[in-house]
């Protein structure tokens, strides 16, 4: 659930000096574009690795003498000659600006801005001397060989050890192969990382001729690269909470200068000492871009109140959804009785109203997103039961998706499910108002006919009026779960974890592996990518970047995809970058030696992201965090990262 935007900044790099013939160009554009090269003939590229282009003004030029005077014929007409643009193929390294830990551009001794060659992590198979792939046994979380039973041609079965190819992680330069057109300009560009460019022009001297530089424009005629070295660098990290468990679970950008985080806590001291809550409650915090608190707003006074998700509506107000058993909200304070809760806040953090729904146990909203008409859509579960008289024999849950106007009035409701338990665990709306509801289902009938495992993922797309358009299952014979989903006009991308090694999941490295999957707008499953070690991983959130996607999660492993990251103890939080097809580019640990969780991410402005979570240990990355965390109580954290 997030309203997510994609902002791309192009910044032109250094010097251009180009070869020419002894001629003057005619004044006029051709609509053709040539690549700019530096004094060494190397093509100039921008920050994103794109070759810089300029318009070729004309393909005919005037012939001049040594004094720069144009030749004329007997009729007094200027003499022109045909100018050609030879083309050669060139391989270039993509480069980017270097920044320090404070986000400032690093400069060289001569005052120019330092650059570095982009690299990318590439996983390759290992081959033996005969050119065959080296295979290895797949191990479970205890280090034992994983086996499977296969049926032979004679009908008998045999237990065999599951194997997989051995892979290695290589670091390679990111390059582009381009066609370079040599033309007759000598121009120098001094470039600044903040998208301002100063242009100076010099005159090329030649023993016989002199020429004057024409005025040119440099339009962006190239597309952005498909891959890059998507590294994450921390800019700051701050802690919040008291002496009980504290965590921030969700975060959304308000604008480029502020963001709001949803926290869950038992504490009434430390950061939250001014609150007089009792029990488990939710707190909303608004921060500026440097992590300074603007306001807090606690939700829930007695019993148990947990808000799961929130959205910022088109008018700047805030809608939050979750569950409660609080007596002051009209329910008995029973630990096993939870009811859907909806709260609206003003932009300054004042509670405007709350609404409760339901009369039976185990009902609540899990997710919410803003709609383009000013309203919102919420997802969760509701209960249906089988009775004999007044006695409830059994109950099950159905996945609920409901549209509301800005005042919380229900406009339509859609239900998905079968005879088992089904619920919406994440949802997102695109700019047109189409809704993608990511559900868990263990039904195998009704709407969930076609589901296979103990729990499968079902993505259901609804039109803005609630009409169901399609259902796509992500399934195997074991458990699949979904945590977050992002949607735009092209479709959706969703993340979670899985335990299967069949169906759409051909490989499982441990107990649970993490996955990222993409569906097109028409419901086609375009790709599924998995990430894991031997002990278990989960992705909690996903957001688009200039090159692909960034995701946050947790890992118990120190091998396979998490070999370079390692593991400091318990489960470690991480942020990872992938390209537009989900291929892993970079993993950055956010960890101490205790358990650490990274639960959500949002983009604040170009290449700069806010992540939120919790830590149980004050060491390593969290050595200076306050208030102090302990083995039995966690500290909420907020951090700012740059990804490019």
Listed ranges 186-195, 235-244, 274-283; the one with the highest mean pLDDT:
235-244
Shared domain check, 80 and 101: yes
Q: What is the model's pLDDT at position 576?
A: 94
- Asked if residue 608 belongs to a domain, the reply is no
**pLDDT tens-digit map of 59-115:** 455 666 656 677 777 777 776 655 444 555 566 666 777 777 777 777 777 777 777
CA pair distance 612, 610, nearest whole angstrom: 7
Expressed as residue numbers, the domain containing 142 is 127-165
pLDDT of 241 reads 92
Pair 68, 143 in one domain: no
For residue 601, list its beta bridge partners. Answer: 611
87 and 152 belong to one structural domain: no
30 and 161 in one domain?
no
Least Cα distance to 367 among 494, 259, 498, 521 occurs for 494
Q: Is 59 found in the same domain as 98?
A: yes
Q: How far is CA 116 from CA 14, 44, 98, 229, 267, in A?
A: 13, 14, 6, 11, 46
What is the signed CA dihedral for 320, 325, 327, 329, rounded to 10 degrees? 30
Highest mean pLDDT among 12-21, 391-400, 570-579: 570-579
User: Which range is least confidently modeled, 13-17, 124-128, 472-476, 556-560?
Assistant: 13-17
Residue 159 lies in a domain: yes
| SS3 state of residue 338 | coil
Reply yes or no on whether the pLDDT at 412 is more than 80: yes
| Domain annotation covers residue 499 | no
Omega before 594 within 30 of 0, i.e. cis: no
Residues 508-539: tens digit of each pLDDT: 888 899 999 999 999 999 999 999 999 999 99
In this structure, the answer to whether residues 177 and 140 fall within a common structural domain is: no
- Asked, for residue 503, whether it belongs to a domain, the answer is no
Find, among 516, 530, 617, 630, the residue nearest to 571 by Cα. 617
The predicted pLDDT at position 465 comes to 96
What mean pLDDT is predicted for residues 487-504? Answer: 94
**73 plus 185 within the same structural domain:** yes
Q: Look up residue 360 and give its two tokens.
A: 């039976």
**54 and 220 Cβ atoms separated by less than 8 Å:** no
Helix (H, G, I), strand (E, B) or coil at 398: strand
Any domain includes 136: yes
Residue 220 has pLDDT above 70, yes or no: no
Over 70: is that where the pLDDT of 595 sits? yes
Say if residue 30 is in the same domain as residue 81: yes
pLDDT at 15 over 70: no
Contacts of 447 (CB under 8 A, 6+ apart): 415, 416, 417, 418, 422, 471
Residues 110 and 178 in one domain: yes
Residue 568 has pLDDT above 50, yes or no: yes
Strands 391-404 and 376-388: antiparallel
Average pLDDT of the residues in 587-613: 94
Range among 137-146, 362-371, 568-577 with highest mean pLDDT value: 568-577
Beta bridge mates, 385: 395
| Shared-domain flag, residues 105 and 71 | yes
Dump pLDDT digits (tens) for 175-198. Answer: 665 555 444 333 323 233 333 233
C-alpha span between 427 and 439 (Å, rounded): 9
578 neighbors 615 (Cβ within 8 angstroms): no
Closest by alpha carbon to 34, among 203, 221, 310, 186?
A: 221
Those residues whose C-beta lies under 8 Å from the C-beta of residue 440, and which sit 6 or more positions away, are: 399, 421, 422, 423, 425, 455, 456, 457, 458, 481, 482
- Residue 209 pLDDT class (50, 70, 90 cuts): very low
Question: In the predicted model, is pLDDT for residue 547 greater than 70?
Answer: yes
HSE toward the beta carbon, residue 456, CA cutoff 13 A: 28
For 249-263, 268-282, 296-310, which range has the lowest pLDDT when averaged over its residues? 268-282
- Mean pLDDT of the chain, nearest integer: 78
What single-letter DSSP state applies at residue 620? G
> Rounded to an integer, what distance in angstroms lies between the CA atom of residue 378 and that of residue 466?
12
Domain boundary among 201, 219, 252: 201
Predicted local confidence at residue 188, as pLDDT? 29
pLDDT at 627 over 70: yes
Segment 455-480 mean pLDDT: 95
Answer yes or no: do 54 and 132 share one domain.
no
Q: How many structural domains are present in the chain? A: 2
452: in domain: no
Q: How far is CA 10 from CA 7, 96, 194, 546, in A?
A: 10, 11, 9, 11
**pLDDT above 70 covers what percent of the chain?**
74
What pLDDT sits at residue 466? Answer: 97
- Report the C-alpha gap between 291 and 236 in whole angstroms: 8
| Parallel/antiparallel/unpaired status of strands 410-416 and 422-429 | unpaired
What is the model's pLDDT at position 643? 82
Tell me the three-class secondary structure of 258-286, residue by residue.
EEEEEEEECCCCHHHCCCCCCCEEEEEEE
**561 belongs to a structural domain:** no
Domain boundary among 110, 139, 165: 165
In a domain, 160, yes or no: yes
Same domain, yes or no: 51 and 68: yes
């Amino acid at each position: 659930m997030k309203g997510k935007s994609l902002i791309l900044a192009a910044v032109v790099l250094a010097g251009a000096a180009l070869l020419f013939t002894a001629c003057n160009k005619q004044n006029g554009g051709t609509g053709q574009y040539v690549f700019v090269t530096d004094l060494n003939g190397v093509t100039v590229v921008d920050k994103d690795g794109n070759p810089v282009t300029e318009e070729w003004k004309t393909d005919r030029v005037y012939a001049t003498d040594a004094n720069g005077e144009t030749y004329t014929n007997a009729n007094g007409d200027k003499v022109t000659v045909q100018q050609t643009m030879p083309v050669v193929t060139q391989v270039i390294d993509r480069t980017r600006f270097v920044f320090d830990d404070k986000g400032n551009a690093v400069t060289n001794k001569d005052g120019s801005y330092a650059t570095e060659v982009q690299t990318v992590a590439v996983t390759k198979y290992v081959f033996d001397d005969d050119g065959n792939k080296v295979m290895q046994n797949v191990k479970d979380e205890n280090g034992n060989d994983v086996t499977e039973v296969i049926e032979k041609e004679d009908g008998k079965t045999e237990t065999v050890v599951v194997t997989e190819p051995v892979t290695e992680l290589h670091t390679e330069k990111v390059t582009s192969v381009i066609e370079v057109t040599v033309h007759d300009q000598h121009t120098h560009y001094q470039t600044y990382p903040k998208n301002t460019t100063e242009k100076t022009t010099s005159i090329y001297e030649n023993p016989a001729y002199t020429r004057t530089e024409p005025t040119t424009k440099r339009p962006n005629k190239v597309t952005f690269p498909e891959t890059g070295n998507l590294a994450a660098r921390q800019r700051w990290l701050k802690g919040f909470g008291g002496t009980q468990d504290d965590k921030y679970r969700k975060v959304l950008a308000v604008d480029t200068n502020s963001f709001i985080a949803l926290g869950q806590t038992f504490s009434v001291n430390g950061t939250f000492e001014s609150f007089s809550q009792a029990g488990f409650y939710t707190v909303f915090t608004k921060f500026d871009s440097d992590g300074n608190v603007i306001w807090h707003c606690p939700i829930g006074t007695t019993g148990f109140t947990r808000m799961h998700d929130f959205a910022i509506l088109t008018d700047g107000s805030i809608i939050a959804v979750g569950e409660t058993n609080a007596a002051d909200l009209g329910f008995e304070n029973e630990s096993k009785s939870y009811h859907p809760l909806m709260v609206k806040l003003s932009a300054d953090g004042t509670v405007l109203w709350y609404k409760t729904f339901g009369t039976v146990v185990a009902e609540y909203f899990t997710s919410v997103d803003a709609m383009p008409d000013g309203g919102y859509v919420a997802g969760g579960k509701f209960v249906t039961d089988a009775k004999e008289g007044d006695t409830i024999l059994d109950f099950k849950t159905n996945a609920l998706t409901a549209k509301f106007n800005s005042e919380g009035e229900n406009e339509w409701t859609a239900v998905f499910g079968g005879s088992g338990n089904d619920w919406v665990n994440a949802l997102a709306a695109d700019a047109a108002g189409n809704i993608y509801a990511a559900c868990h289902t263990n039904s195998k009938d009704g709407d969930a006919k076609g589901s296979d495992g103990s729990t499968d993922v079902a993505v259901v797309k609804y039109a803005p009026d609630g009409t169901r358009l399609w259902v796509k299952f992500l399934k195997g014979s074991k458990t699949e779960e979904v945590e977050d989903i992002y949607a735009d006009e092209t479709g959706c991308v969703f993340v979670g974890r899985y335990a299967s090694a069949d169906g759409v999941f051909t490989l499982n490295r441990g107990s649970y592996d993490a996955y990222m999957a993409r569906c097109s707008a028409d419901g086609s499953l375009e790709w599924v990518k998995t990430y894991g070690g031997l002990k278990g991983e989960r992705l909690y959130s996903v957001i688009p970047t200039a090159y692909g996607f960034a995701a946050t999660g947790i890992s118990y492993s120190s091998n396979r995809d998490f070999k370079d990251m390692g593991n400091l103890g318990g489960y470690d939080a991480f942020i990872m970058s992938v390209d537009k097809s989900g291929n892993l580019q970079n993993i950055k640990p956010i960890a101490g030696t205790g358990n650490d969780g990274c639960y959500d991410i949002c983009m604040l402005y170009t290449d700069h992201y806010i992540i939120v979570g919790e830590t149980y240990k004050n060491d390593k990355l969290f050595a200076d965090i306050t208030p102090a965390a302990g083995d039995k109580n966690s500290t909420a954290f907020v951090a700012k990262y740059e990804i490019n």
